[in-house]
Amino acid sequence: MTNYDIIVIGSGVNSLVAAAMMAKAGKKVLVLESREEIGGLASTHEFAPGFKCNTINDTIKWVDPRIVKELEIQSKDLELIDIDIKRIALGAGENELIIFHKDPLLTSESIANHSENDAKKWKDFTIHIEKLTKFLEKLYQLTPPSLPDIGLLDAFSMRSLLGPLMGQGPQGLVDLARTAPMMMPELMDEWFENELLKSALSTAGIHSLSYGPYASATGYNFLHQHLYSKGVIHNSSILNGGTGILPRILNNILSSYNADLRTNVKVASINIKNNSYESVTTEEGETIMSDQILSGLDPHNTFINLVGAQNLDPNFHTQIKNIKYRGSTARIHFALQDIPKIKGVTDDQMNTIFSICPSMEYLEKASDAVKYGFISQDPYVEFSIPTIINPEFSPEGKHVLSASVQYAPYHLRNSEWDLDSKEQLKQNTIRVLEKKIPNLNQLIETSIVHSPKDLETEFGLTEGNLNHGEMTLDQLLFMRPTASSSQYSTPINNLYICGPGTHPGGGLHGMNGYNAANKVLKS
């Protein structure tokens, strides 16, 4: 029987980053993945004959630069295409839109079509956001301190915060503390007057949340989406070959360090003895031993489903049960006979992300669906056409349109997610899209709908939450996932966690995995 130093559960980006880091450090590592394909939320798959899609994420907003350096990832392998047009926000009018460019001066020109005053403020706004994210970038690289008992080592580890503090002075930290709990309308009203601009920016604040823009801490989520953006608003990159390339690169690194990775192996239990991790048992009945274990699954799956409530301290069990998930984002992929025509958008502007967000009130009304448990009649839709940059995703001359749809609550009132409810969501989404793509329905050959329930079933996401727990004010930083497990270690000896449910939260950046690996290696 092979005895491993550490077993990693799951093959999402964070799990693979952590596994690669530990394998590089000389640890004997085994990664166990329940699905046939690796990658988790970075997966790509064929959803119809000849048509492929990025299952969950069409873009990568930012990657922890430490990972690229430490794992020696070459740019020729991880080819992130830094597109000039970052996003096009579509308003209510016939050709009403705002184009967010990499160049802030070009963005200002687009904004000036709606408001000269807002255009003049744009550069200052981008500088302000860049200053705030500098603090978060340093904070995100840290293991959260042990509260309330911060020791000398904890305090010393936070010395990296002195860099932005010296550069900006105490006012920068005050601005961050003030902005993070804000609702998006508060932040927007301090800067801008145009409704489409305010709404277009607010979409970053509600990204993958069940709340609308009027919820507290949507300001924090806005900042979270803009780390390492150098002030470029709505910054993101498209991965040549699709997001599935990233886990493949990490898997190749794992192989180079002789780590083992097994797919189609579902862990049935994490075995605990005397409050210490001992082994895992698979659904096939195989028991695998290791000195330590690192879970990339969400807290509910890790602690309730695998460890078991009977092995948890009652207080910790209560904390885990109180984590809010409330997944409300669905994904719909359309196989199209031809490239769609979007009102007001030229052919050379099609290789970007589009959002349909006429007003702040539109976004808030769409979010009411989650409050009352129904499928939004006019959902917030964000979409792209990945086949423009990755033509291998479809047969020649045909295309894929991939849409992220909010708000589609996991919990439906007096209903459930079935073929009828998914068809309703699809038709509501098509109706919204056809306001900007008039002939869309005629172009559709086939489609696939991933409801939050489907995401739970396929990817093991509790309630279909893409962040492994809502990114809300009470579930951030040293409280993520709980105050007693925010340092990637847990109350159970030799059991560690590294998924998006840990600090600093969701995304394909891999920072959670990097931080967790460092914690394990120092233990």
Residue 26 in this model has a pLDDT that exceeds 80: yes
Helices (H) and strands (E) in the chain, counts: 18, 18
Is residue 277 within 8 Å of residue 495, measured between CB atoms?
Answer: yes
Question: For residue 94, what pLDDT is reported?
Answer: 84
The region of weakest confidence among 133-137, 166-170, 187-191, 478-482 is: 166-170
* pLDDT for res 144: 81
CATH 3.30.519 domain residues, the chain: 326-459
Where do the CATH 3.50.50.60 domains begin and end in the chain? 4-40+245-323+480-522
Residue 170: pLDDT band by 50, 70, 90 thresholds?
low
Amino acid at 36: E
Q: What is the pLDDT of residue 155?
A: 45
DSSP 3-state of 166: helix
Quick one: DSSP state of residue 483? Answer: T
Q: Residue 157: in which H helix or E strand, if any?
A: helix 152-157
As given in the structure block, the two tokens for residue 274 are 């005397």
- Whether 419 and 410 have beta carbons less than 8 Å apart is answered as no
Query: What is the architecture, at CATH level 2, of domain 4-40+245-323+480-522?
Result: 3-Layer(bba) Sandwich (3.50)
Does the structure show a pLDDT above 60 at 149? no
For 57-68, the pLDDT digits (tens) are 999 999 999 999
| % residues pLDDT > 70 (the chain) | 95
Q: pLDDT tens for residues 248-288?
A: 999 999 999 999 999 999 999 999 999 999 999 999 999 99
Is 467 within 8 Å of 41 (Cβ atoms)? Answer: no
CA distance 16 to 256: 13
pLDDT at 173: 77
Q: Is 226 left (phi over 0), alpha (psi -120 to 50) or beta?
A: alpha
- 326-459 CATH, one of 2.60.40, 3.30.519, 2.20.25, 3.40.50: 3.30.519
Taking CB atoms within 8 Å and a gap of at least 24, the contacts of 163-167 are: 163/134, 163/138, 164/131, 164/134, 164/135, 164/138, 165/135, 167/134
Q: What is the pLDDT of residues 354-381, one digit of tens each?
A: 999 999 999 999 999 999 999 999 999 9
pLDDT interval class at 478 (50, 70, 90)? confident
Q: Is the pLDDT of residue 158 over 90?
A: no
Q: Which of 495, 470, 479, 486 is nearest to 143 (CA)?
A: 486
Rounded to an integer, what distance in angstroms lies between the CA atom of residue 68 and that of residue 182? 33
What is the C-alpha separation between 203 and 139, in angstroms, rounded? 24
Contacts of residue 134, defined as CB under 8 A and 6 or more positions apart, other chains included, come to 163, 164, 167, 168, 172
Which of these, 91, 67, 89, lies nearest to 77 by C-alpha position?
A: 67
Name the band, by pLDDT with cuts 50, 70 and 90, for residue 477: confident
Q: What is the pLDDT of residue 161?
A: 47
With H, G, I as helix, E, B as strand and everything else as coil, classify residue 401.
strand
What is the rounded average pLDDT of the residues 118-134? 96
**Sheet-wide strand order for 85-90:** 97-101, 85-90, 353-356, 380-384, 399-406, 329-336, 444-450
